[in-house]
Amino acid sequence: MKTKDRFLEDLDWAGEHHTQLLEKYREEWVAVCDKQVVAHGISIAEVRKSAQAKTGRKHIPVYFVESGSNIYAG
């Protein structure tokens, strides 16, 4: 499978499983590889770095598990 296809498939999986991820990773970043959470935490940079070290892959989707209580101003 191509890297782009695998990336998008894992990102789609995270979105489809948001409710389940919310139970365990509320307000955290999660890195998903092969439809599994391989790293999580509050720092996107650290989550990405940890996931790359664990998997050996350079491109891994990192998804924010938002609870809906955030306020964004622009």
Q: What is the pLDDT of residue 3?
A: 83
Percent of the chain with pLDDT over 90: 84
pLDDT score, position 72: 63
Q: Which residues pair with 63 in a beta bridge?
A: 30
The encoded tokens of residue 62 equal 């990192």
> Does the structure show a pLDDT above 70 at 70?
no
Q: Over 80: is that where the pLDDT of 14 sits?
A: yes
Backbone phi, psi, residue 40, to 5°: -155, 160
Residue position matching structure tokens 């935490």: 41
Rounded distance between C-alpha atoms, residue 61 and residue 23, angstroms: 19
- Please, which residues bridge with residue 39 across strands? 31
- Contact between 34 and 3 under an 8 Å Cβ cutoff? The reply is no
Q: Residue 62 — very low, low, confident or very high, per pLDDT cuts 50/70/90?
A: very high
